[in-house]
């Protein structure tokens, strides 16, 4: 499955991003900030609304330390359904490991030149995402649909979480 979305140009905005897939609006992602840090990559939190069902997802950053990485908790309608974390170690912060109930674990791992591999729980490549060249913040990629057992808007928000934390 191909995916593509445009992120706000300014990182510290709380303006919602409407996500469309195959010419249909599927939901919105709204970033919010808990801290007043000027470094937005250390404060990545999202509220996500799925338009069809009305479900509200939330990705809350629960911690960040250079040597221990970052952690997030994922909620659906205020109930925990998963977590996201970066590996421990100062040189391993360019990836996130994602565990969502009912979904195989996946990893987003940065490569050179703005490309990111999406890796399945069998350590096989199941897709990729890449960052924009230039000023436009359009992110795109592909993922094997067999690994997509979660709502599309939640998948897009996981991609957005990665890019907000590492771009």
> Average pLDDT of 145-153?
87
Of the candidates 131, 158, 125, 153, the one whose C-alpha atom is nearest the C-alpha of residue 55 is 153
Task: Output the CA angle 111-106-78, nearest 5 degrees.
Answer: 125
List the CATH number of the domain containing 49.
Answer: 2.40.160
Report the alpha-carbon distance of residue 33 to residue 61 in Å, rounded.
Answer: 10
pLDDT tens for each residue of 26-78: 999 998 888 756 565 678 899 999 999 999 999 999 987 666 678 999 999 99
Element (H, E) at 164: helix 152-166
Q: What is the pLDDT of residue 90?
A: 64
Which residue range(s) make up the domain with 33?
Answer: 2-166
Domain count for the chain? 1
Please give the model's pTM, rounded to 2 decimal places: 0.86
């Amino acid at each position: 499955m191909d995916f593509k979305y445009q992120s706000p140009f300014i990182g510290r905005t709380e303006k919602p991003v409407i996500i469309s897939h195959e010419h249909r609006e599927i939901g919105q992602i709204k970033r919010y900030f808990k801290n007043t840090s000027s470094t937005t990559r250390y404060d990545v939190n999202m509220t996500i609304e799925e338009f069809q069902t009305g479900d509200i997802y939330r990705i809350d950053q629960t911690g960040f330390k250079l040597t221990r990485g970052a952690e997030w908790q994922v909620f659906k309608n205020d109930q925990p359904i998963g977590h996201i974390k970066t590996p421990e170690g100062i040189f391993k912060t360019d990836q996130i490991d994602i565990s969502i109930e009912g979904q195989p674990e996946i990893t987003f791992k940065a490569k050179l030149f703005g490309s990111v591999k999406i890796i399945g729980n069998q350590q096989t490549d199941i897709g990729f995402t890449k960052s924009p060249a230039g000023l436009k913040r359009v992110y795109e990629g592909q993922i094997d649909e067999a690994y997509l057992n979660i709502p599309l808007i939640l998948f897009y928000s996981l991609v957005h979480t990665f890019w907000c934390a590492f771009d």
